[in-house]
C-alpha cells in the first residue's frame, strides 16, 4: 500500500536498476526504462490491493549506440553476470534485462542484438518496444532503500508505449498459441495502465501511430486490445480477473478492463 515500507524485492530490483544505469551512464540518453518498474512509476496512484511486485529491471537500448562504454565490460565491472539468454544480466539479488526494440536493431543475430562493439550477448532483441523508443518522458528514478541516496533522471516509456509493449507480448503469445507462456500478470498490468486517464493514453497512442518506427507495432497492439480486452469475457479480461482472484471480485475487474479498453478504442476512432 502507498506509504508502507516498500517490499524488499522491489528495493533490490530498484538497486539493480541503478547499478546498471551507473555502469551504462555513457549511454543514458539511449536508454528507456520499460517493464514493471516503469509501469509502477506511472500507476502509483492506482491501488487495488495488489502488491506491486517485480524482481527485475527492463531497459530498452535505442540504437544507434556509441561504442563506448562497452556494455559487456561495463556490466561485468558493475558485478553483473550473464543469465541463460542474451541480454539477461544477474547479480546476487537482482536481474537487469537489456533489450533492443527489434524493429530498430541492426540486422543480424537470432535473439542477441548485434550492437557494434558491444558483444553478441549484451542485449536481446524484443518486438513491441519500438513504441518506448518513440514515446517517452524524462522522470527521476530514485533508490527505494532509505540508505541509498542515488537518483537518476532518465527516459521512462510513456503509459501508451508500455501498453503497446504489454499488448504486443500478450497478443504475440496468444497468436503463436503459446498459452503456457501467457502470464495473467501481463493482462493485469494492461488493466493497471488502462486505469490511467484515457486522454493521456490516446495522445500517446497517436504519437506512436504517427511515427514510422513504431506505427506497425502500434497498430498491431490496438488490434490485440480489441481482441483481448474489448469484451468482458475476452481472454485478456479473464486473465486480469483471474490474477486478482481472492483479493477483488474477478467479475468487477473483467467488466472494468473491458469498459476502459472500449473507452480508449473509442478515442482512437474507427478501425
Using only the alpha carbons of the chain, give its radius of gyration: 18
DSSP string for 19-60: HHHHHTGGGGGGEEEEHHHHHHHH-TT---S-----SEEEEE
Q: Which of 95, 131, 105, 121 is nearest to 16 (CA)?
A: 95
The nearer residue to another protein, 213 or 242, going by C-beta atoms, is 242
Contact range with another protein by CB under 8 A, out of 46-54, 124-132, 157-165, 206-214: 46-54
Under the binding rule (CB under 8 A), the answer on residue 195 touching another protein is yes
The nearer residue to another protein, 95 or 262, going by C-beta atoms, is 262
Under the binding rule (CB under 8 A), the answer on residue 251 touching another protein is yes
Q: Which of 152, 110, 105, 113 is nearest to 133 (CA)?
A: 105
CA distance 158 to 34: 9
CB 213 within 8 A of CB 134: yes
3-class DSSP state of 137: strand
Give the distance, in angstroms, between the CA of residue 122 and the centroid of all CA atoms in the same chain.
19
The nearer residue to another protein, 103 or 241, going by C-beta atoms, is 241
For the CB of residue 85, give the shortest distance to another protein in the complex, in Å. 36
For the CB of residue 236, give the shortest distance to another protein in the complex, in Å. 14
Beta bridge partners of 56: 95
x/- string (CB under 8 A) for another protein, residues 2-41?
----------------------------------------
For the CB of residue 156, give the shortest distance to another protein in the complex, in Å. 21
Among 170, 260, 264, 265, binds another protein (CB under 8 A): 260
Among 9, 41, 48, 127, binds another protein (CB under 8 A): 48
For the CB of residue 257, give the shortest distance to another protein in the complex, in Å. 8
| Residue numbers at the binding site for another protein (CB under 8 A) | 1, 46-49, 194-195, 248-249, 251-252, 254-257, 259-260, 263
Amino acid at each position: 500500500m502507498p506509504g508502507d515500507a516498500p517490499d524488499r524485492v522491489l528495493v533490490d530490483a530498484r538497486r539493480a536498476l541503478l547499478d546498471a544505469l551507473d555502469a551504462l551512464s555513457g549511454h543514458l540518453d539511449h536508454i528507456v526504462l520499460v517493464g514493471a518498474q516503469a509501469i509502477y512509476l506511472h500507476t502509483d496512484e492506482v491501488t487495488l490491493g495488489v502488491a506491486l511486485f517485480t524482481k527485475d529491471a527492463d531497459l530498452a537500448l535505442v540504437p544507434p549506440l556509441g561504442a563506448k562504454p562497452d556494455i559487456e565490460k561495463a556490466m561485468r565491472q558493475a558485478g553483473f553476470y550473464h543469465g541463460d539468454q542474451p541480454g539477461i544480466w544477474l547479480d546476487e539479488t537482482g536481474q537487469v534485462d537489456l533489450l533492443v526494440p527489434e524493429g530498430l536493431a541492426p540486422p543480424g543475430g537470432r535473439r542477441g542484438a548485434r550492437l557494434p562493439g558491444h558483444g553478441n550477448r549484451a542485449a536481446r532483441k524484443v518486438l513491441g518496444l519500438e513504441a518506448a523508443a518513440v514515446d517517452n518522458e524524462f522522470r527521476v528514478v530514485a533508490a527505494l532503500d532509505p540508505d541509498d541516496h542515488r537518483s537518476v533522471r532518465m527516459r521512462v516509456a510513456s503509459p501508451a508505449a508500455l501498453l503497446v509493449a504489454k499488448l504486443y507480448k500478450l497478443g504475440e503469445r496468444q497468436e503463436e498459441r503459446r498459452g503456457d507462456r501467457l502470464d495473467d500478470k501481463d493482462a493485469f498490468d494492461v488493466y493497471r495502465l488502462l486505469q490511467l486517464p484515457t486522454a493521456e493514453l490516446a495522445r500517446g497512442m497517436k504519437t506512436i501511430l504517427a511515427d514510422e518506427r513504431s506505427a506497425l507495432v502500434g497498430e498491431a497492439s490496438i488490434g490485440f486490445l480489441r481482441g483481448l480486452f474489448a469484451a468482458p469475457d475476452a481472454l485478456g479480461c479473464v486473465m486480469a480477473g483471474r490474477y486478482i482472484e481472492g483479493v477483488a471480485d474477478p467479475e468487477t475487474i473483467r467488466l472494468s478492463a473491458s469498459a476502459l479498453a472500449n473507452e480508449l478504442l473509442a478515442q482512437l476512432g474507427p478501425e
